[in-house]
Amino acid sequence: MKFSDQDRFEFWLMEMDESIRRFSDSLPEEETKWLDFSVGSLSCLEFWLISRYDGPMDIMRPTEAGVHDGAERYIGETFRKNLGGKWKIDFADKKNVFFGVPQINEMKGQVTQFCPHALVTTLLDRRSGGFLAAIFGAPDSNSRNA
């Protein structure tokens, strides 16, 4: 049986909780205590990723696919649980930079595309330690107060 792209995305969504659990289980025990889907947990995750990877290319290695997927899912679910919204994927516009990559839309205050997969590599490139929290609190993109 051949599955469509949309079917594969639906399977990806159905595996969300289990995939985040596997990601959490793969972390050192002292790191898992902060995985509570709070805004503060985003900074903890960001610091952990920065301490583990020297840059975006490191997490893009095939051996790190599970960590990249787990981090992207956790980031996405943290935003979604706090700001609403739903996962979506674009298979229609091949010119879309996020074509075929899961995104979240309809979040409170959202005005731009939001792709957690890209946020993982961006935070590793910027290495600020406050990138995710800044995005969460940005009044012009994903604010609780928007």
Spell out the per-residue pLDDT of the chain, length 146, in tens. 899 999 999 999 999 999 999 999 999 998 899 999 999 999 999 999 999 999 999 999 999 999 999 999 999 999 999 999 999 999 999 999 999 999 999 999 888 899 999 999 999 999 999 999 999 886 444 433 33
Q: What pLDDT is stored for residue 146 in this prediction? A: 33
Whole-angstrom distance, CA of residue 142 vs CA of residue 84: 10
SS3 of residue 45 by DSSP: helix
Q: What pLDDT is stored for residue 144 in this prediction? A: 36
As given in the structure block, the two tokens for residue 112 are 């731009």
Return the CA Rg of the chain: 15
The one-letter code for the residue type at 125 is D
Find the angle CA(70)-CA(71)-CA(74) to the nearest 5 degrees.
85
Distances (CA, A) of 95 to 16, 89, 91, 104: 27, 13, 10, 18
Task: Scan for tokens 């990877």, then name that residue.
Answer: 53
Residue 35, CB-side half-sphere exposure with 13 Å CA sphere? 22
Q: What pLDDT is stored for residue 142 in this prediction? A: 41
